[in-house]
Amino acid sequence: MTKDKFLVSIVILVLAVFICCEEGKVPETKPIVKQTPESMLTVADVAQVTGLEGITAVTRDTAKDIKGDLNYTKDDGVVILSVNFIGIDEFNQYKGQMEYIQGPVSGIGDEAMSAPKGDMQNVLFVRKGDRAMVLTSMIDASGDWVKPFLTVEQLGELVKRMLAKMATPQEEQMK
């Protein structure tokens, strides 16, 4: 290869690179912000959905039977909500336990189901893409009636808020 042909090849290569990159401009990209679990569900979210005041986020403490990845208490320190992030395999295992699962819940994530079977559900399993989580409302046994602190509808609203914060940059651009 002669010197002239080599220089022409270099010039063509450089021009091709500029053309491929829209005349040398680097495509604009949004920064990817990695969410921490705490930022996906805030104390304010829980307070707004439950209507309770004095909500506090507490860390896992197995000695006190606080086992969630995220845990929330009401003003007297009683845990009312626990959130655990689980793998897809674990989600599918729960999904297969028809003696435990009450049934599907529509309009939340790609798949959602409540549990346990019976008159009172206090657990919501949700899958969105390759992510899954379980929200568990603790049971309020302080009055004459035993009931969950949060309804399945309230758990669903919390999940919707979390999923909105978990959106990928591609999902954000599609909105």
Length of the chain in terms of residues written: 175
Supply the range of the domain harboring residue 158: 37-174
Q: How large a percentage of the chain has pLDDT more than 70?
A: 75
Residue 8 and residue 73 in one domain: no
Asked which of 19-23, 141-145, 156-160 is least confident by mean pLDDT, the reply is 19-23
CATH code of the domain containing 86: 3.40.1000
48 pLDDT higher than 50: yes
Residue 110 and residue 153 in one domain: yes
Q: What is the pLDDT of residue 45?
A: 96
Return the structure tokens found at 139: 């049971």
Domains of the chain: total: 2
Residue 41 and residue 7 in one domain: no
Spatial distance between the Cα atoms of 24 and 14, rounded to a whole number of angstroms: 10
Task: Tell me 100's DSSP state.
Answer: T
Q: What is the pLDDT of residue 37?
A: 72
SS3 at position 168: coil
Spatial distance between the Cα atoms of 168 and 65, rounded to a whole number of angstroms: 33
Residue 8 and residue 80 in one domain: no
**Selected residue with higher pLDDT from 137 and 3:** 137
99 pLDDT higher than 60: yes
Residue 23 and residue 46 in one domain: no
DSSP-derived secondary structure for 43-99:
HHHHHHHH--SS-EEE--BGGGTB-SSEEEE-TTS-EEEEEEEE-HHHHHHHHT-TT
**pLDDT tens digits, one per residue of 128-143:** 999 999 999 999 998 8
**pLDDT tens digits, one per residue of 33-44:** 456 777 889 999
Of 136, 8, 121, the residue nearest 72 (C-alpha) = 136
Per-residue HEC secondary structure of 3-30 comes to HHHHHHHHHHHHHHHHHHCCCCCCCCCC
Spatial distance between the Cα atoms of 93 and 89, rounded to a whole number of angstroms: 6
